[in-house]
Amino acid sequence: MKAITRMELSRAFRNKYFYFAITIGIGITLWHYFRYSYILAESIYKVYKGTMVATYLEKVNYGVPAVEAWIGTRSIGYNIYFFIMPLLCAIPYGISLCIDKKSGYINNITTRVDKKKYYKAKLLAVFLSGGAVVVIPLIFNLLLCMCTLPIMFPIASSMLFPVSTVSVFGDLFYSHTFLYILIYLLFDFIFFGLLNCLCIVMTYFEDNRFAVVLSPFIIYFAVHVFCSWGLGKSDYSPMVYTFFPKFHTQNAGIILAQILILLVLALLTIRGSKHDTI
């Protein structure tokens, strides 16, 4: 099991498509940085130097921490980032099972390794690669903001932050900021990792690689349309609550139910692997 898992993880993380997806994700966060964070940092620097009227003085007095300019807590750029993310997550390794079947590679592997172990390793690699694609650019953007903005803790009374008392772990954001960020990243890692596992599910029904790689994005966007326009509850949409400040406590049950469905579908691929025809 260790050997096949190591091999699948190597295939998932050491390929040009993984680097491509990470590059696109970092590109979006760089756009956000120069569109908002850099301008804010430059203005604050000028205020400190006395070469600019204290337009941002209030923010400086309250302390503009790096997290205030981070894409994970700012509305600028996050909508583009989380809109395209299901597709970026699927690009590196989502269609690997489909390719393995078409090339006959799976036949060679399953003669030496139990098919169930192969599917477990495949599912783990797809899950981890999907989670990594969403989290790495967010961490990059946060570190970039920390290099150019004061590392201070946010103050709730400043009203500068989208995190409120109705947000999940809203109080934690102001008392233990970096623990909040860790939970934020872990949540998005798990969600998009499980969403990426839909590629494995789709491979049972479709052998077209384009349909397989697009399936997480299509389902993700369809749920967004249904929640936003059908139900009139945009907060139920994964395109909204993956931006963690908009994950409201009152919607936790609905959101956790969606994640549970993704988890069950992912685990069913392992159970159904013995019935899968190669």
Model confidence at 177: pLDDT above 60: yes
Rg (CA), the chain: 21
Helix count and strand count (H, E) for the chain: 15, 0
Predicted confidence at residue 39, as pLDDT, reads 80
Residue 63, classified by CB atoms within 10 Å of its CB into exposed (0-12), middle (13-18) or buried (19+), is middle
Contact between 131 and 47 under an 8 Å Cβ cutoff? The reply is: no
Model confidence at 176: pLDDT above 90: no
Angstrom distance (rounded) from CA 82 to CA 134: 9
231-253 pLDDT tens trace: 888 889 999 889 888 888 888 89
Predicted confidence at residue 274, as pLDDT, reads 58
Angstrom distance (rounded) from CA 24 to CA 93: 16
Average pLDDT over residues 179-191: 94
Angstrom distance (rounded) from CA 269 to CA 118: 11
For residue 158, what pLDDT band results from cuts at 50, 70 and 90? low
Contact between 249 and 235 under an 8 Å Cβ cutoff? The reply is: no
Domain ranges of the chain: 2-275
Predicted confidence at residue 50, as pLDDT, reads 60
41-94 pLDDT tens trace: 777 777 666 655 555 455 554 455 778 788 888 767 788 899 999 999 999 999
